[in-house]
Amino acid sequence: MSLNEIDKALVMRRAAALPRYTSYPTANHFKPTVGPGDYRNWLAGLADDAALSLYVHIPFCNEMCWYCACSTKATRRYDPVARYLDTLEAEIATVSGLVPRGHRLPHLHWGGGSPDILSVADITRLGGALKASFHLDADTEFAVEIDPRLMTADKADAFVGIGVNRISIGVQDFDPAVQAAIGRMQSYEVSKASLDLFRDRGVTSVNMDLVYGLPHQTEQSLTRTIARVIELSPDRIAIFGYAHLPQRAHNQKLIDEAALPGPMERFAMARRLTTQLTKTGYVQLGLDHFARREDSLATKPLNRNFQGYTTDGAETLIGLGASAIGKLPQGYVQNAVAVGDYANRVGQNGLATTRGWTLTPDDRLRAFVIERLMCDFTFSFAAIAANFGEAEAHALLREADALVVNDPDGFLKSTDDGFELTPRGRPFVRNICARFDAYLNPVAGGAKHSMSV
Ligand SMILES: C[S@@+](CC[C@H](N)C(=O)[O-])C[C@H]1O[C@@H](n2cnc3c(N)ncnc32)[C@H](O)[C@@H]1O
Ligand code: SF4
């Protein structure tokens, strides 16, 4: 499906380096003025029956993939991982002593890095520590990110044994030429084997991660990869646009920039993969997720947090581990990024908060608008008024009206109480969100954010 001249002009005009809005304000604005004292006070202020969502970060991989922008490092030895688990247990002990006793735990997510780098004994140990400290039960959605190259049957037994009921498998692309250009060799068989390990043990909820915009990827090669993914029939598929930020992720300097598809090719790939997946029964959700029609991601209200799109609507997200971010009603907290710094801080203080953000009333309003745009592609006066009051909603409605009036590219369509993005505008949702972002610095943005298409 080639792009016509109008599409090309549009992409050239609107492709820009913009945030992915997994939070508002985005994490690059967090300040060191928020520390462990604030975190303790914020946790103490939670309602006794607060619903918590728990994120545990495992910042280790066997080797670094060249494209990776995650907070992780390669280790061939296991002792740094074992030491890290000691620190995690200490942080779990501190945080669980601060959260309300009557809390509920609808969501638990282990991400990374690669949580399946943990040994069988340590998977069980970490699962046991969390169960002893937080109220996990049979209803808890317990998801783990999996690097298929690290999986074994014993590890699958251990994950299922501690209650894992959802997995997310890293695939990226099946094309050998693309794999060679991103430093990640992983056959179809290896991906399928890890999927089978979990399905054989009763885990029925499977996500697969893919990336478009990788070096040497073409529309045709991506179509072949997606056809093979469809054969494996995952319940959810996340297809992220490649974020190339070599100034921040130094491993990306290994990527041959001359082989990267440009904005036009990326746009065409995104359009084609969307058609391919929606034709085979997947529903498109938000910017880059797809799910089977009956999957909860497609049937429940969609939310967005640091892990991307989720059904998780908990107001409080507790982040455990190096670099982990938490969200509380009062604001955001982030742990020290470097593993050594994280361990020292937990050793001294029990917590490792190094920076964060205290939300203002205006931040809450804009965060709500941006999250709804990213999830539903709509701006609704009624929804804002219901959450924040009519006066606040009116102030933002003026900004929304100005956008609709000055909409040269036909991205927006007026509705009874606001606007919605047109099919033409949807791929550019980050551009629209950026118009509600009071902190975005268009000059500094280029080095910090990925391309909006
Ligand atoms: C923590 S990893 C997934 C689990 C496991 N480590 C693996 O790679 O199989 C999270 C996902 O982020 C995505 N990702 C990493 N770096 C990216 C980048 N620079 N741009 C877009 N997506 C990226 C990949 O799809 C990856 O699967
Ligand atoms: S993509 Fe996954 S396996 Fe590769 S370096 Fe990043 S976190 Fe590790």
Ligand nearest to the CA of 144: 1
CA angle 228, 229, 232 (to 5 degrees): 95
Strand partners, 158: none
Nearest CA to ligand 2 atom 6: 68
Which class does domain 360-441+449-453 fall in? mainly alpha
pLDDT score for 308: 86
Six-digit token string for 308:
């991307």
For residue range 74-86, list pLDDT tens digits in order.
Answer: 999 999 999 999 9
For the chain, what is the largest distance between any 2 Cα atoms, rounded to a whole number of angstroms? 60
Rg of the chain over CA atoms, in angstroms? 22
CB atoms within 10 A of CB 418: 22
Secondary structure percentages of the chain, helix, strand, coil, to 5: 45, 20, 35
Q: Of ligand 2's atoms, which has the minimum distance to the CA of residue 149? A: 3
For residue range 88-101, list pLDDT tens digits in order.
Answer: 999 999 999 999 99
Q: How far is the CA of 170 from the centre of ligand 2 (A)?
A: 8
CA angle 43, 303, 265 (to 5 degrees): 130
Smallest CA-to-CA distance from 176 within 214, 227, 127, 233 is with 214
Domain covering 27-320, topology: Transcription Regulator spoIIAA (3.30.750)
Does residue 113 have a cis peptide bond before it, meaning omega lies within 30 degrees of 0?
Answer: yes
| Close Cβ partners of 404 (under 8 Å, ≥ 6 residues apart) | 412, 414, 419
Strand partners, 94: none
- What CA–CA distance (Å, rounded) separates 114 from 305? 19
- What CA–CA distance (Å, rounded) separates 322 from 337? 5
Ligand nearest to the CA of 145: 1
pLDDT score for 442: 58
Q: Taken in order 378, 383, 387, 388, is the CA torsion positive or negative?
A: positive
Residue span(s) of the chain under CATH 1.10.10.920 come to 360-441+449-453
Note the pTM of the prediction, 2 decimals.
0.95
pLDDT score for 109: 97
Nearest CA to ligand 2 atom 7: 113
pLDDT score for 351: 98
Ligand nearest to the CA of 171: 1
Smallest CA-to-CA distance from 297 within 172, 141, 453 is with 141
DSSP for 162-202? TT--EEEEEEE---HHHHHHHT----HHHHHHHHHHHHTTT
Six-digit token string for 234:
């995952």
Mutate to test the pocket of ligand 1, among 240, 242, 254, 287 (most ligand atoms within 8 A of CB): 240
Strand partners, 325: 334
Q: How far is the CA of 416 from the centre of ligand 2 (A)?
A: 45
Q: How far is the CA of 181 from the centre of ligand 2 (A)?
A: 15
pLDDT score for 306: 87
pLDDT score for 256: 97
* pLDDT < 50 stretches in the chain: 1, 444-446
Q: Could you tell me whether strands 236-241 and 282-285 are parallel, antiparallel, or unpaired per DSSP bridges?
A: unpaired
Q: Which residues are near ligand 1 (CB < 6 Å)?
A: 61, 67-70, 111-114, 145, 147, 170, 172, 209, 211, 240, 242-243
Mutate to test the pocket of ligand 1, among 72, 172, 209 (most ligand atoms within 8 A of CB): 209
Residue span(s) of the chain under CATH 3.30.750.200 come to 27-320
